[in-house]
């Protein structure tokens, strides 16, 4: 597997920056060039590019004596360079020193030069230093006021897929979910278009995380109909069918072998209610007629889960839906509908066998499926 490497122009710019920092200087033109070139990278390369940037930010040597400092021509420490060099604050977001990362976040008070740097600022909300996380949260709030909805939507599209792997931001008692996920009502349209038009990537996970906030609720019917990826249509329809949004929220474990102390992980979900514009049957039928088998399986699975929960009136209303899924081209869907038909047919039989069977009459047949496994309470 070939490892990703920086483009040649960015690699050269970082090499020149490293050479300057080794001498205790940072030329403004070289810093601006490095920041500009990195801004063109997609946010997905943030972690990989951050390692290259971190390696280029070598420790600045301590300032020599005053007469040597004058003779060498203005050697400065890292804090002085950060304060006096425009653009260096973006590169210092990846510095090894948490104090300098915090100072860099305090300095940023304008629209960053690209989506890459917006994501880099928001990514610091999961920093391993508490003071940096707090500074990043405030910096995101400042930057959001200067960035358009399209840029914030592109950043949120990248971050929301990675939030389930974050753990440190939950340690912040004053963590604001709207700042963390960059969700605002005015950018919901842009994010919905980004999710609905995406042709690749973990879009289903992005939508589930975006549903933490209610800003995406009004876009669910459109996503359920027009989204390119089937997983997006499935998540939107599942949310509308159940009238609640669900997103991953940690892990639990279940013991499967007590003598050997073996557990299996179980994904935990958090939920919130969602207003449903149409009836549950409407969205079930939409799922059953979808062009993707993944979405049609959702309809069959939802009907199977309704066994024992819905009354006879609901199943009578869903009769045409069952008939439609019985003719589906996917065998797993047909098998599930056959199972539902069998259970519904068994539910019409009396739970207690006839008196002749209890008395040993000739009508009792122990090989009949309808009589197997019946428990009689006397």
pLDDT at residue 362, as a whole number: 41
Distances (CA, A) of 267 to 80, 103, 256, 271: 48, 38, 15, 13
pLDDT at residue 371, as a whole number: 38
Spatial separation of the C-alpha atoms in residues 91 and 297, rounded to whole Å:
48
Q: What is the mean pLDDT of the chain?
A: 83
Res. 352 pLDDT band, cuts 50 70 90: very low
3-class secondary structure, 258:
coil
Res. 151 pLDDT band, cuts 50 70 90: confident
pLDDT in tens, 121-141: 989 988 999 999 989 988 988
Other C-beta atoms closer than 10 Å to the C-beta of 50 total 15
pLDDT in tens, 313-333: 899 999 999 999 999 999 999
pLDDT in tens, 71-97: 554 446 788 888 889 999 999 999 999
Residue with tokens 């971050």: 159
Residue with tokens 């804090």: 79
Mean pLDDT on 9-27: 88
Q: DSSP states of 46-109 as a string?
A: HHHHHHHHHHH-PPPPPP--HHHHHHHT----HHHHHHHSTTHHHHGGG-S-HHHHHHHHHH--
3-class secondary structure, 355:
helix
- Nearest residue to 306 (alpha-carbon basis) of 324, 284, 325, 291: 284
- Nearest residue to 188 (alpha-carbon basis) of 213, 167, 164: 213
pLDDT at residue 3, as a whole number: 72
Mean pLDDT on 234-254: 92
pLDDT in tens, 155-199: 888 888 887 777 776 665 555 555 566 667 778 889 999 999 999
Spatial separation of the C-alpha atoms in residues 29 and 41, rounded to whole Å:
20
pLDDT at residue 350, as a whole number: 45
Res. 70 pLDDT band, cuts 50 70 90: very low
Residue 301, C-beta contacts closer than 8 angstroms, at least 6 positions apart = 336
3-class secondary structure, 251:
strand
Spatial separation of the C-alpha atoms in residues 104 and 113, rounded to whole Å:
15
Res. 291 pLDDT band, cuts 50 70 90: very high
Does pLDDT of 358 surpass 50?
no
Mean pLDDT on 351-377: 39
Contact in structure between 5 and 56 (CB atoms under 8 Å):
no
- Nearest residue to 104 (alpha-carbon basis) of 139, 74, 69: 139
Res. 299 pLDDT band, cuts 50 70 90: very high
DSSP one-letter code for 219: G
Of 19-23, 55-59, 69-73, 134-138, highest mean pLDDT:
134-138
Percent of the chain with pLDDT over 70: 83
pLDDT in tens, 213-231: 888 999 999 999 999 999 9
3-class secondary structure, 1:
coil
pTM: 0.79
Q: Which helix (H) or strand (E) holds 293?
A: helix 293-305
Res. 377 pLDDT band, cuts 50 70 90: very low
pLDDT at residue 212, as a whole number: 86
pLDDT at residue 361, as a whole number: 41
Mean pLDDT on 32-54: 92
* Lookup: tokens for 332: 């797993």
């Amino acid at each position: 597997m070939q490892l990703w490497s920086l483009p040649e122009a960015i690699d050269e710019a970082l090499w020149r920056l490293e050479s300057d920092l080794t001498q205790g200087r940072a030329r403004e033109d070289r810093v601006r060039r490095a920041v500009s070139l990195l801004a063109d990278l997609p946010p997905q390369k943030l972690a990989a590019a951050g390692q290259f940037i971190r390696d280029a930010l070598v420790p600045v040597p301590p300032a020599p004596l005053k007469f040597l400092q004058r003779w060498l021509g203005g050697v400065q420490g890292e804090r002085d360079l950060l304060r006096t060099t425009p653009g260096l604050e973006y590169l210092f977001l990846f510095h090894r020193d948490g104090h300098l990362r915090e100072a860099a976040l305090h300095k940023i008070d304008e629209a960053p030069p690209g989506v890459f740097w917006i994501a880099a600022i928001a990514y610091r909300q999961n920093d391993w230093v508490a003071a940096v996380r707090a500074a990043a949260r405030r910096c995101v709030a400042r930057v959001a006021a200067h960035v358009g909805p399209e840029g914030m939507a592109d950043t949120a599209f990248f971050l929301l897929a990675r939030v389930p792997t974050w753990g440190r931001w939950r340690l912040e008692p004053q963590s604001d979910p709207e700042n963390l996920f960059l969700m605002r009502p005015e950018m919901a349209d842009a994010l919905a278009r980004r999710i609905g038009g995406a042709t690749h990537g973990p879009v289903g996970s992005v939508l589930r995380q975006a549903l933490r906030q209610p800003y995406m609720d009004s876009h669910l019917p459109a996503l359920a109909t027009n989204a390119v990826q089937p997983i997006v249509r499935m998540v939107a329809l599942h949310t509308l069918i159940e009238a609640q949004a669900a997103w991953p929220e940690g892990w639990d474990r279940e013991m499967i072998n007590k003598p050997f102390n073996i557990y299996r992980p179980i994904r935990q979900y958090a939920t919130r209610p969602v207003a449903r514009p149409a009836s549950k049957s409407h969205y079930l039928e939409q799922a059953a007629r979808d062009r993707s088998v993944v979405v049609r399986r959702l309809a069959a699975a939802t009907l199977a889960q309704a066994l024992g929960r819905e009354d006879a009136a609901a199943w009578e209303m869903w009769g045409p839906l069952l008939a439609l899924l019985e003719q589906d081209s996917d065998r797993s869907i047909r098998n599930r509908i056959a199972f539902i038909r069998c259970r519904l047919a068994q539910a019409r039989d009396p739970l207690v066998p006839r008196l002749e069977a209890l008395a040993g009459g000739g009508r009792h047949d122990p090989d009949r499926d309808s009589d197997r496994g019946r428990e009689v309470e006397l």
